[in-house]
Amino acid sequence: MIRNNYIGLLFLSVVMAVIPLFISNVYYLSILIFIGIYSLITIGLSLLMGYAGQISLGHAAFFGLGAYASGILTTRLNIAPIPAAIVACLFTGLVAFLIAVPTLRLRGHYLAMATLGFGQIIYVVFNAWIKLTGGPSGFGDIPRIRLAGICFDSDFKYFYLVWSVVLVGFLLAIHIVHSRIGRALRALHSSEEAAGTLGINTSRYKIEIFVVSTMYASIAGSLYAHFVTFLSPESFGISFSILLVTMVVFGGRFSVWGAILGAAVLFSLPEYLRVARDYDVLIYGVVLLLVVMFLPGGLAGWLDGMARRISLLFISRAPKRMKC
Amino acid sequence: MALLEIIDLEKKFGGLTAIDRVNFEVEAGQIKALIGPNGAGKTTLYNVITGIFAPDAGTVRFRRREITGCKPHLAASLGLARTFQIIKIFKGMTVLENVMVGRHLKSQATLPKAALRLPAVRREEKAIRETAARFLDEIGLKNRAGDPAQNLPLGQQRLLEIGRALASEPKLIMLDEPAAGLSGPEIRSLACLIRGIRDSGVTILLVEHDMSLVMDISDEVVVLDYGRKIAEGPPREIQNDKKVIAAYLGE
């Protein structure tokens, strides 16, 4: 099973490596860069939602923590971007840990509400702590990333940087899914009681995977900061949190591939919804409802089912179940 | 030696006393049955022992260590396994994967190591898969290894739960009505399986309604009624105990 993923990943890597050579239009390149950045968040979120079965309605806040931390450390303290991103990631993980310990005892709706609440608190901090974050007016002049003598100031170079990180993040996620940790997460999602009696420390694993998912979001935030070089709190509010959840569910939350699919397909949604600005969350809600009702496995689940049905035409007995 | 000790255990839910000063022990190597009319408190007792509920009073000791009120994974790490009256197999996972989860306690890979998939992790994964396959073979489900667990018929799902619990190599396994919903022949092969488990060195505590199974395989029987222990002894004695007969007739 994991071998299928390696093959897929290799294929994806080759495709991504080659794309910028054929696309000279910076607009399309920047779209792909954003899709990469959002994929990084959705990969982490799918580990939390699909495998561990938890929910976060405040993940945009962790994306923001990574972005602002990177921005502040590089502009105010003149720390180099890469170490700053690592510090930002650890900081975000710590905040997530402190939130997770009291919160992950809660069930279902209460957990959702708590993550919603914390997301809002962090969003308010971005707006209110003007001395640190520049408040609603935002702050800019975030430096470009410098690595091994290369300055990542063009979309062409940034594309390779972002997608290298995404592919590594993807690989790590696949490894987690296909390990005893991944099985423990799926087990505790299916029956927390039974998982406990098999020696799985359910609280610890829920906290661990929550922290990991926020660290993914933080790295994405750092990459975002050094790409757009200007941050304002608007990008890190509840609309984006809900869009992230919609991407994961639409793409297929039981699949790490689904995370990338969801980001790629729904990324442009805010663009199309520009005319209906105030209705964006409503549209996300409708998409979520439709997917959950008719396509619970999301796009990835649907494609997986199609692939199996097609292969049934060629093979006489049902193939081994494909997992991702 | 007493593997499991239940001492003066009490559990109330509001005004209802579910477990009323219950005392008994399970000796290593025994097959001990826990019986009683519906509502006698048997599953509640299981839940208290495994740490799903904390008792209001009393002590639970496993392998001489106090585990009263400890979280389930702690008791499990000491070698206490259980199955459930209402089946709790892991849906969305295959039959083999369910048993692989049973190997959790016998493996070490942490999240960072698993993410990097170090060679040691890869070796451990292979070992987990192979050992799980062996346990699956022992309970006769080898040919269903790749099937989604929820597709199995009830009897096989019960078997899977047992196999999954056995994969953790427990010292004591607590079975909760394993014969429920099984046909005659299935119950007979269950009896065979349970004896085999005991012979491999695992002690068994068994909650069961099927009296023929209980009388057939148990070394000792504990009888609960309205949360209280009313009798304890070898199966023959219990069968003829007036209090036990009265409790069941009153049901």
Going from N- to C-terminal start, the domains of chain B cover 2-89+155-249, 92-151
A72, pLDDT greater than 60: yes
Binned at pLDDT 50, 70 and 90, residue A59 comes out as very high
ipTM score: 0.92
Residue ranges of domains in chain A, CATH in brackets:
2-266+280-314 (1.10.3470)
Kindly report, residue by residue over A74-95, the tens digit of the pLDDT. Answer: 999 999 999 999 999 999 999 9
What is the least distance, in Å, from the CA of A183 to any CA of chain B? Answer: 6
CB contact under 8 A, A320 and B81: no
| pLDDT over 90, % of chain B | 83
Is B168 part of the contact surface with chain A (CB cutoff 8 Å)? yes
Q: Is the Cβ–Cβ distance between B196 and B163 less than 8 Å?
A: no
Binned at pLDDT 50, 70 and 90, residue B247 comes out as confident
CA-CA distances (angstroms) from residue B179 to A107, A223, B210, B212, B214?
A: 32, 57, 7, 11, 10
Residue A93 CB burial class (10 angstroms; 0-12, 13-18, ≥19):
buried
The alpha-carbon radius of gyration of chain B (Å, integer) is: 19
Kindly report, residue by residue over B81-122, the tens digit of the pLDDT. Answer: 999 999 999 998 999 999 999 999 999 999 999 999 999 999
Residue to test with chain A: of B77, B90, B100, most A Cβ within 10 A? B90
Contacts of A194 in chain B (CB under 8 A): 84, 88-90, 161
CB B182: neighbour CB atoms within 10 A? 19
Residue B230's nearest CA partner among B210, B216, B212, B250 is B250
B149, pLDDT greater than 60: yes
Residue A45's nearest CA partner among A260, A237, A297, A264 is A260
Among the partner-chain residues A173, A194, A198, the one whose CB lies closest to the CB of B105 is A198
Exposed e or buried b per residue across B194-222, where buried means at least 16 C-beta atoms within 10 angstroms of its C-beta: beebbeeebbbbbbbebeebbbebbebbb
pLDDT value for A321 = 53
CB B58: neighbour CB atoms within 10 A? 17
Give the mean pLDDT of B65-85.
Answer: 94
Q: Which CATH superfamily is domain B2-89+155-249 in?
A: P-loop containing nucleotide triphosphate hydrolases (3.40.50.300)
Among the partner-chain residues A184, A194, A321, the one whose CB lies closest to the CB of B88 is A194
A306, pLDDT greater than 90: no
Say whether A104 sits in a helix, a strand or coil. coil
Structure tokens given for A11:
């294929």
Contacts of A200 in chain B (CB under 8 A): 73, 101, 104
Nearest-by-CA chain A residue for B87:
A194
Binned at pLDDT 50, 70 and 90, residue A51 comes out as confident
The alpha-carbon radius of gyration of chain A (Å, integer) is: 20
Kindly report, residue by residue over A110-146, the tens digit of the pLDDT. Answer: 778 889 999 999 999 999 998 888 889 888 888 888 8
Whole-structure pTM value: 0.91
